[in-house]
Structure 1
Amino acid sequence: MVEVEKELGDGETISSDTQEGDTVSQENVENAEKYKAEANDLFKKQNYNAAIDLYTKAIVLNDKVAIYYANRSFAYLKTECFGYAFSDASKAIELDKTYIKGYYRRAAANMSQGKFKEALKDYEYVTRVRPTDKDARMKYNECNKIVKKIAFEKAISVTAVTKTIADSINLDAMTIENEYKGPELEDGKVTLEFMTELMELFKNQGKLHRKYAYKILLDVKTYFMEQSSLVDIKIGDEDKFTVCGDIHGQFYDLMNIFDLNGLPSTTNPYLFNGDFVDRGSFSVECIFTLFGFKLLYPNHFYMSRGNHESITMNQIYGFYGEVKAKYTAQMADLFTEVYNWLPLAHCLNDRVLVMHGGLFSQDNVTLETIRTIDRNRQPPEDGPMCELLWSDPQPQNGRAPSKRGTGCQFGPDVTKAFLELNKLDYIIRSHEVKNDGYEVAHDGKCITVFSAPNYCDTMGNKGAYITLIGKDMKPKFTTYEAVPHPKIQPMAYAYNLVNLMS
């Protein structure tokens, strides 16, 4: 019998027996336990990838211990590999159907992907076998509320009704109070002076007046509605162009990018490649800054949709709660309408394709396929739109199921074939934390850029952005560390959903 520690942070122990007929040597048993103990220490130090490697070594030596899979599942959750987290939790349950932490982990993996009904089944099981467990009951009740809320909203929705949140906004009924001292639109338009004052207001933790906030959202929605799902961008031979990756509500790091690389302008164009919000607790400040620059420089400032520009992600990871706390639930719903119209990809000088996630589970996807995607909706669970937002590269050839549970993983051969088919040089994508803020993969043909340093105040990674010159389109990488911000923790507005995924 192998006695192992219970889940990370718990003081009690459980027993996990190898199955009859297995021939795990005592040496392997002992070494696996050592790997697990070392992995636990790394986990507590928030070095999740190293912890995953050691849990994997423990599993290789002894693959019949449920806790190894459950602990690795927890580490995968921390690195947003929700598909792998689900698989490991399911394996832990397969090995020990009485192992409660396995059900917790599987529920958390489903919650992380917005699969609330599936999560509820596991929480329900835990409450049934542990009827006096207050934590289990709380998680079941909160998840059940979400499931009922979704069912209610679905029941009352009438597809024939075409009136939108934007249609219901009455700007004329909103008055500017005398005590408001923030920036004001000039004849209803964003100016450079407005943007300069807005950024200073946000740096000092002020709030834009709701009338101007709504006006920006309505105007930027109107603009995006006129765009194609694939936007073509022309860069002059001697002109510089900057591509930024995920910002994730880290407003003060966004300001640092502008300090390092200059404010957006007609001579300093930018493309922000999705995931502007969620996780970081200054997402409202980030998105109004970006939307403001989009309205100020519509032909020199671009924004791609990320997987976090969706209602499920926003409800789980904090943005929806942040908007409700700083403004209203109505505005949170209006953001959803705006996000539905964000372009899905941008093509630079007919040579470089930029999307948030990655490439496709099927061959023969062309730029025209992307251009004609009907994007005015929540991301589907499969197909080109889903994969543009969710997919990730892998080092080996071919394709594999996504580590996230959504999208796919694609290899160097897939990238090469896509580029040849569409006569492109390389792709730029974001979506993944990288220690240096960027990564060049697939023989230089697949570049990842991630612009949120010390992601969630825990990862310790650098941020990066890419600059290109039109005549050669060669990427130049600038990296930077995180800058200080007010003492508001990440996901401060995620409320009880954070507890459900712990």
Structure 2
Amino acid sequence: MSSPEDQAVAFKNDGNKAFAAHDWVTAIELYTKAIELNDKDPVFYSNRAQANIKSEAYGYAIADATKAIELKPDFVKAYFRRAIAYTAILKSRDALRDFQKVVSLNPADKDAKLKLEECKKIVRKVEFLAAIEVGDEPSAAEGLDLDSMVVEPEYDGARIENEMSLEFITDMLERFKNGKKIHKKYVYQIVIAVKKIVYDEATMVEMEIEDDAQLTVCGDTHGQYFDLMELFRLNGLPTEKHYYLFNGDFVDRGSWSTEIALLLYAYKWLRPKSFFINRGNHETDDMNRVYGFEGECKAKYNERVFKLFSESFSALPLATLIGKKYLVLHGGLFSDDKVTLDDIRKLNRHNQRQPGQAGLMMEMLWTDPQTEPGRGPSKRGVGMQFGPDVTKRFCDNNNLTAVIRSHEVRMEGYEEEHDGRCITVFSAPKYCDSTENKGAYINIGPDYKLDFHKFDAVPHPNIKPMAYAAQSGLMGMT
């Protein structure tokens, strides 16, 4: 009969196989079984840290890497993985210390030296941006004379006069599919027009589904333009009677974030009363700097385009209430049971452009459900987690059927948790080209019944995720 130590190694080896198959959830479960049998092997913790990084459970990854380092103080791989996890949650100074340790332990590692230098650049940039930050910076639209901006005669796309048109959107869909851009004048027009529309909307938009209409709720799309096109192919394009709600995180990571952002904004301009966009945690400046959207804007257009998008992101609503039955918000629920829908209604999001480290806005964008009752520390290292009892109390207190949120990969594209009262929908299949998940969307008709649909990823041009991230080598595929 094999010893517990031998059984633990067998679980670890099976975990490695699951990891190689991009099944992060199974890998974590197997590494956990190995740890339960032998909690003194630092490799088990380090491997689980890597699987947690792939699952974006950066807080858990930091804890695992830290335990591995306690067991083996010179464990280079554990320092490296902890540094990656710190980088992912924007704790660049902590990451810098770990990269320095990696290089000191293994001076011949050229890759580690390169990542250390990249991390130093991030720290310098963060410090520079903090030093020049001003409270009332003028809008990037100031001094932009759109009337005198010329669109060259040779521009071969449809044109915007004063209003968005279906003809322009149809042409834009094809241009983007073929790797073309739209003229920067039209980019400016679209973002400026939509910023005004969403600024004037409530922090929590309240809508009803008419008798002859249908609403589709989509989760994260993360710059995966060709997968969004597949969703539209299967489910139909937005129309006056086919409403859509995109629940945040439509930019970053995937390398067609400007295309998705411009398309969603064009539909919002065309149909402001039947097309809805919630803000996600990636529609924020600090995330855009790390995860690629800022770099993509600059590469495809210019810095002013990014600044205009940034202003528009801070104007986006934080939640949508569907038929007084479903609260749709990107992250999840709150650290205080006393929070009500009225508190969301009263929240003045315009006084706080970025979500910060605490408060209602941060929690709406960042929190996650957990299976255990009560509340717990975030597996991400940001925000917190809430249990089924928290969801039940919130729904009961606010007469809600359920909360619909996004923010996390689900292998089947969606998941009903907390006795069906917390629903996660995620619309980026084969997320970052590295997770074998399906995408999903939810159709809701006038009867307010939820109709779930799953779909698979489709091929896309050979451009990797994070292609425009300033430190794509540092972040890898996490």
Give the TM-score, by structure 2 length: 0.95
1:372-427 per-position Cα deviation (integer Å, ceiling 9, x unaligned) = 22324112222221111111112222111111111221111111100111111111
Q: Is 2:173 the partner of 1:199?
A: yes
2:286 maps to 312
Q: 1:339 aligns with which of 307, 313, 316?
A: 313
How far apart, CA to CA, are the structure 2 residues paired with 1:208 and 1:342? Answer: 23
1:294 maps to 268
Structural mapping, 1:239-388, within 5 Å: 239-376=213-350, 377-388=353-364
Task: Specify the code of the residue in structure 2 equivalent to 1:100.
Answer: V
Structural mapping, 1:408-423, within 5 Å: 408-423=384-399
1:146-201 per-position Cα deviation (integer Å, ceiling 9, x unaligned) = 11112112212333x4412222433245321222111210x221111111111011
How far apart, CA to CA, are the structure 1 residues paired with 2:407 and 2:134? Answer: 34
For residue 144 of structure 1, report the CA deviation from its aligned partner: 0.9
Contact map agreement 1:465 1:479 (CA 8 A) in 2: yes
1:499 maps to 474
**Structure 1 residue runs of 4+, over 6 Å off?**
none
How far apart, CA to CA, are the structure 2 residues paired with 1:394 and 1:337? Answer: 33
1:332-365 per-position Cα deviation (integer Å, ceiling 9, x unaligned) = 2222111111111000111110001111111111
How far apart, CA to CA, are the structure 2 residues paired with 1:468 and 1:191? Answer: 26
For residue 500 of structure 1, report the CA deviation from its aligned partner: 4.5
2:32 maps to 56
How far apart, CA to CA, are the structure 1 residues paired with 2:137 and 2:63? Answer: 41
1:86 maps to 62
For residue 429 of structure 1, report the CA deviation from its aligned partner: 0.8
Q: Is 2:154 the partner of 1:153?
A: no
Task: Specify the code of the residue in structure 2 equivalent to 1:271.
Answer: L
Q: Is 2:141 the partner of 1:133?
A: no
1:257-305 per-position Cα deviation (integer Å, ceiling 9, x unaligned) = 2222221121111101111011211111111110000000000000001
How far apart, CA to CA, are the structure 2 residues paired with 1:97 and 1:228? Answer: 52
For residue 247 of structure 1, report the CA deviation from its aligned partner: 0.8
Paired residue secondary structure (2:349): coil
Task: Specify the code of the residue in structure 2 equivalent to 1:182.
Answer: G
Q: Percent identity?
A: 49
How far apart, CA to CA, are the structure 2 residues paired with 1:95 and 1:374? Answer: 48
How far apart, CA to CA, are the structure 2 residues paired with 1:500 and 1:240? Answer: 39
Q: Is 2:46 the partner of 1:70?
A: yes
Contact map agreement 1:341 1:375 (CA 8 A) in 2: yes
2:463 maps to 488
Contact map agreement 2:466 2:472 (CA 8 A) in 1: no
Task: Specify the code of the residue in structure 2 equivalent to 1:490.
Answer: P
For residue 124 of structure 1, report the CA deviation from its aligned partner: 2.0
Contact map agreement 1:109 1:501 (CA 8 A) in 2: no
1:38 maps to 14
Contact map agreement 1:242 1:269 (CA 8 A) in 2: yes
How far apart, CA to CA, are the structure 2 residues paired with 1:466 and 1:42? Answer: 30
Contact map agreement 1:230 1:347 (CA 8 A) in 2: yes
Contact map agreement 2:213 2:243 (CA 8 A) in 1: no
Paired residue secondary structure (1:171): coil
Change (3 A) 1:500 1:447: closer
1:476 maps to 451
1:463 maps to 439
For residue 450 of structure 1, report the CA deviation from its aligned partner: 1.0
Contact map agreement 2:255 2:464 (CA 8 A) in 1: yes
Task: Specify the code of the residue in structure 2 equivalent to 1:112.
Answer: A
Task: Specify the code of the residue in structure 2 equivalent to 1:486.
Answer: P
Contact map agreement 1:468 1:476 (CA 8 A) in 2: yes
How far apart, CA to CA, are the structure 1 residues paired with 2:130 and 2:143? Answer: 20
How far apart, CA to CA, are the structure 1 residues paired with 2:54 and 2:3? Answer: 31
Contact map agreement 1:464 1:477 (CA 8 A) in 2: yes
Paired residue secondary structure (2:216): strand
Give the total of aligned pairs. 475
Task: Specify the code of the residue in structure 2 equivalent to 1:175.
Answer: V
1:437 maps to 413
Structure 1 range deviating more: 59-68 or 374-383:
374-383
Task: Specify the code of the residue in structure 1 equivalent to 2:348.
Answer: D
How far apart, CA to CA, are the structure 1 residues paired with 2:277 and 2:106? Answer: 48
How far apart, CA to CA, are the structure 2 residues paired with 1:155 and 1:295? Answer: 36
Give the TM-score, by structure 1 length: 0.91
1:454 maps to 430
Contact map agreement 1:357 1:392 (CA 8 A) in 2: yes
Task: Specify the code of the residue in structure 2 equivalent to 1:183.
Answer: A
How far apart, CA to CA, are the structure 2 residues paired with 1:414 and 1:421? Answer: 11
- Listed as ranges, the gaps of 5+ residues in structure 2 are none
Higher relative contact order (CA 8 A, sep 6+): 2
Structural mapping, 1:84-123, within 5 Å: 84-123=60-99
Contact map agreement 1:242 1:467 (CA 8 A) in 2: yes
Paired residue secondary structure (2:321): strand
Query: How large is the RMSD of aligned CA atoms in angstroms?
Result: 1.7
How far apart, CA to CA, are the structure 2 residues paired with 1:258 and 1:480? Answer: 11
- Listed as ranges, the gaps of 5+ residues in structure 1 are 1-24
How far apart, CA to CA, are the structure 2 residues paired with 1:236 and 1:464? Answer: 23
Structural mapping, 1:7-46, within 5 Å: 27-46=3-22
Paired residue secondary structure (1:166): coil
Contact map agreement 2:290 2:471 (CA 8 A) in 1: no
How far apart, CA to CA, are the structure 1 residues paired with 2:40 and 2:2? Answer: 14
1:426 maps to 402
